[in-house]
Amino acid sequence: MAGFGIDEIASSGAPRPLREVVRPTTLIDAPRLGRQLGVRLTLASETFQHTGSFKFRAAYNVAAQVREREIITASSGNFGQAMAYACGLLGKACTVVMPHTSAQVKVDAVREYGGRVELTDVRVKSREERVQELAREHPQAYVASAFDDPLVIEGNASLGAELAACGLSFDAVIAPVGGGGLSSGIITGLRAAGKDTPVYAAEPLLANDAARSLRAGRIVRNESEPQTIADGARTLSLGQCTWAVLREGLAGVVEVPEEKIAEAVRLLFSLANLKAEPTGALSLGALLADPERFQGKQVCCVISGGNVDPAVYRRILTADYE
Amino acid sequence: MAGFGIDEIASSGAPRPLREVVRPTTLIDAPRLGRQLGVRLTLASETFQHTGSFKFRAAYNVAAQVREREIITASSGNFGQAMAYACGLLGKACTVVMPHTSAQVKVDAVREYGGRVELTDVRVKSREERVQELAREHPQAYVASAFDDPLVIEGNASLGAELAACGLSFDAVIAPVGGGGLSSGIITGLRAAGKDTPVYAAEPLLANDAARSLRAGRIVRNESEPQTIADGARTLSLGQCTWAVLREGLAGVVEVPEEKIAEAVRLLFSLANLKAEPTGALSLGALLADPERFQGKQVCCVISGGNVDPAVYRRILTADYE
């Protein structure tokens, strides 16, 4: 029942610890879906987390731990919303730099959560340049990375701790990977709880820098932002902090073709009643892309978020029926 | 964590009690949605219940309590799936009479859950006639009603008990009404736990026999099956057992126009990441249809199920964008 009455948090003194504020992940036993995929399947859904994705775990931890009262971040997606909301709870100010082409619903969501939106024309100036500019103008502010920060990994480790304590013994946990904040957090949380459960990363084949990094033994970057449907994984590379965990900690990376990501969204809809965003469905897509690897196992797929534009979702549902 | 390892139940001796088998309802705090509607809103979602709707509560209770080893029921929807699955868990046989025009996915689902499907050409013989025919052929079988049975109300009372024990104090609980099994169960469960929380029924305006019954002080029937988008509420009338609870127990009935049902499905998608079937969204539709009644209150909307055809869902999402 965490999360009820959270509106009152901001009025208290010291920040409440993450474990009291975060909503526990929603564990869903999915026998029909599992049968179809040949595994015993549990979904760990972060779609009902505050602001609709796991990003709240990291955002709150960062905002609560740093001493700065102002936070600047660049995000057109879930991290911006999560940081705006977390800062609101903590009585801190939050500026989110977004491309001027961002969907209005995403801009509105950040504002509704209490964040200040700084739209930037990315043809003139990249978001990172605009963030650096703002950082110079506001030296008292903390510039938050969506993934490459030990506080991000620590925040996401709370999900690993929950999986360790949930009473189920998984042969594999699969989580989407973009910058690596989620997968490194889950590994950290599981290991801190004494669990050696293998953790696999599910990555869009179109954005397979993590898979290539693991093969090369060093961080390999995408040349440009990959245009995968899994927009939460459109990162250029892993971060230094996340790579330090992932290089030894990951059991493997499964590269998921775009059509398997879409099929995973549809299967979650049809056989588990779960609305997932494409990035959130990546872990299930990994079961479709590499079924032999997980055959007959007890698998936990982390569904990282559910925020998807209705028009995009409708198109994904349509593909199966036209 | 109820629901894990449920596959093993059938092999044991005496039936396990419902409270051990049922999945607890998924309580979702929905502050964005609540703000938009002017209430403090909790969703009690049965979309992740076994077979995707609250119907499992009643079906399991019926199948576990009756001594017959065979069950016959007429249902083209959630009750048929729930009964097939419940009988499978209990090692009983289940026959579901469905119209020959039923969607193949629904027929497949009943079969996948272990039920025998009896397709009947409803132009020649009504489903009820076919059920009576089967009952004569199989006198050893129990003919199960989807709503008008004390065992149905008792099964659904488990949801009322959960709401009573969840630690939140609601000013109103709203649940969809068709035959009345869910709303009468919730009332029964809440009252048994000593809670006098007002319970409202949300009914399609197109199928407003419960509202008319309450006004008339006696059961009023729809002339024919109402063609509401909320197909779980396409019932001809309340039952004798449910009416006995509802006539005194309901705080009121809210009649929800079709467009508000569709809008509720879209709002659950956009602001709560929840996939609901139209019948499941009725309770939220009630907030849209009669906002003054619930303004500023702490409201629990029961989302009764999530099983909706992708094509139907896509059309509902589309209405807002074209």
In this predicted model, what pLDDT tens digit does every residue of A110-141 receive, in sequence order?
999 999 999 998 888 888 889 999 999 999 99
Q: CB–CB of A168 and B275 under 8 A?
A: no
Domain that holds residue B228: 6-53+149-317
Are residue B13 and residue B82 in the same domain, yes or no?
Answer: no
Are residue B186 and residue B38 in the same domain, yes or no?
Answer: yes
Per-residue model confidence as pLDDT tens for chain A (322 residues)? 333 345 444 445 689 999 999 999 999 999 999 999 999 999 999 999 999 999 999 999 999 999 999 999 998 789 999 999 999 999 999 999 998 888 888 899 999 999 999 999 888 888 888 999 999 999 999 999 999 999 999 999 999 999 999 999 999 999 999 999 999 999 999 999 999 999 999 999 999 999 999 999 999 999 888 889 999 999 899 999 999 999 999 999 999 999 999 999 999 999 999 999 999 999 999 999 999 999 999 999 999 999 999 999 999 998 864 4
> Would A1 be classed as within a structural domain?
no
Q: What type of residue is B191?
A: R
Residues A277 and A263: their CA atoms lie apart, in Å, by 12
| Number of other residues whose CB lies within 10 A of the CB of residue A322 | 8
Is the pTM above the cut of 0.80?
yes
Nearest to B273 by CA among A200, A263, A320, A281: A281
pLDDT recorded at residue B3: 38
Cβ neighbours of A266 in B, within 8 Å: 310
Distances (CA, A) of A77 to A109, A193, A298, A309: 10, 31, 31, 11
Q: Which residues contact A175 (CB under 8 A, 6 or more apart)?
A: A182, A183, A186, A199, A200, A201, A202, A283, A302, A304
* Contact by Cβ (8 Å): B174, B198: no
Distances (CA, A) of A190 to A27, A142, A161, A162: 16, 29, 6, 8
DSSP state of A281: G
Distances (CA, A) of B51 to A69, A168, A224, A286, B213: 48, 22, 44, 25, 31
* Residues facing residue B303 across a β-bridge: B45
- Token code pair at residue B128: 């009820």
- φ and ψ at A93, to 5 degrees? -95, 145
> Would B322 be classed as within a structural domain?
no
SS3 assignment, position A58? helix
Residue at a domain's end among A89, A113, A144: A144
Q: CB–CB of B314 and A311 under 8 A?
A: no
Cβ neighbours of A25 in B, within 8 Å: none
pLDDT recorded at residue B105: 83
Which of B112, B167, B317 is closest, CB to CB, to A314?
B317
> Would A322 be classed as within a structural domain?
no
Residues of chain B in Cβ contact (below 8 Å) with chain A:
1, 3-4, 6-7, 23, 26-29, 31-32, 42, 47-48, 52, 105, 112, 166-168, 266, 269-270, 272-275, 306-307, 310-311, 313-314, 317-318, 320-321
Are residue A260 and residue A298 in the same domain, yes or no?
Answer: yes
Are residue A46 and residue A60 in the same domain, yes or no?
Answer: no
> Would A256 be classed as within a structural domain?
yes
Residues of chain A in Cβ contact (below 8 Å) with chain B:
1, 3-4, 6-7, 23, 26-29, 31-32, 42, 47-48, 52, 105, 112, 166-168, 266, 269-270, 272-275, 306-307, 310-311, 313-314, 317-318, 320-321
Residues B249 and A84: their CA atoms lie apart, in Å, by 44
Are residue A186 and residue A209 in the same domain, yes or no?
Answer: yes
Cβ neighbours of B112 in A, within 8 Å: 32
Surface-to-core class of residue B168, CB atoms within 10 Å of its CB (0-12 exposed, 13-18 middle, 19+ buried): middle
| CATH code assigned at B74 | 3.40.50.1100
Are residue A260 and residue A284 in the same domain, yes or no?
Answer: yes
Are residue A205 and residue A106 in the same domain, yes or no?
Answer: no
Are residue A94 and residue A242 in the same domain, yes or no?
Answer: no
Q: What type of residue is A90?
A: L
Angle at B172 between CA B167 and CA B175, to 5 degrees: 100
> Would B259 be classed as within a structural domain?
yes
> Would A261 be classed as within a structural domain?
yes
Are residue A184 and residue A296 in the same domain, yes or no?
Answer: yes
> Would A30 be classed as within a structural domain?
yes
SS3 assignment, position A242? helix
Residue at a domain's end among B144, B179, B211: B144
> Would B37 be classed as within a structural domain?
yes
Are residue B219 and residue B274 in the same domain, yes or no?
Answer: yes
Cβ neighbours of B266 in A, within 8 Å: 310
Per-residue model confidence as pLDDT tens for chain B (322 residues)? 333 345 444 445 689 999 999 999 999 999 999 999 999 999 999 999 999 999 999 999 999 999 999 999 998 789 999 999 999 999 999 999 998 888 888 899 999 999 999 999 888 888 888 999 999 999 999 999 999 999 999 999 999 999 999 999 999 999 999 999 999 999 999 999 999 999 999 999 999 999 999 999 999 999 888 889 999 999 899 999 999 999 999 999 999 999 999 999 999 999 999 999 999 999 999 999 999 999 999 999 999 999 999 999 999 998 864 4
Residues B289 and B277: their CA atoms lie apart, in Å, by 18
pLDDT recorded at residue B12: 52
- Token code pair at residue A276: 């997932």
SS3 assignment, position A54? coil
According to the 3-state scheme, what is the secondary structure of chain B? CCCCCHHHHHHCCCCCCHHHHCCCCEEEECHHHHHHHCCEEEEEECCCCHHHECHHHHHHHHHHHCCCCEEEEECCCHHHHHHHHHHHHHCCEEEEEEECCCCHHHHHHHHHCCCEEEEECCCCCCHHHHHHHHHHHCCCCEEECCCCCHHHHHHHHHHHHHHHHCCCCCCEEEEECCCCHHHHHHHHHHHHCCCCCCEEEEEEHHHCHHHHHHHHCCCCCCCCCCCCCCHHHCCCCCCHHHHHHHHHHCCEEEEECHHHHHHHHHHHHHHHCECCCCHHHHHHHHHHHCHHHHCCCEEEEEECECCCCHHHHHHHHHCCCC
Ranges of H-type helices in chain A: 18-21, 31-37, 55-65, 78-90, 104-112, 127-137, 150-165, 181-192, 209-216, 240-249, 258-272, 282-289, 291-294, 310-318
* Contact by Cβ (8 Å): B91, B10: yes
Closest Cα of chain B to A213: distance in Å?
Answer: 33
Sheet holding A199-204, edge to edge: A26-29, A40-45, A298-303, A172-176, A199-204, A252-256
pLDDT recorded at residue B320: 61
Are residue B175 and residue B224 in the same domain, yes or no?
Answer: yes
Are residue A131 and residue A19 in the same domain, yes or no?
Answer: no
Q: Which residues contact B150 (CB under 8 A, 6 or more apart)?
A: B241
Q: How many separate domains does chain A show? A: 2
**Half-sphere exposure of residue A6, counting CA atoms within 13 Å on the CB side?**
29
Residue at a domain's end among A144, A177, A202: A144
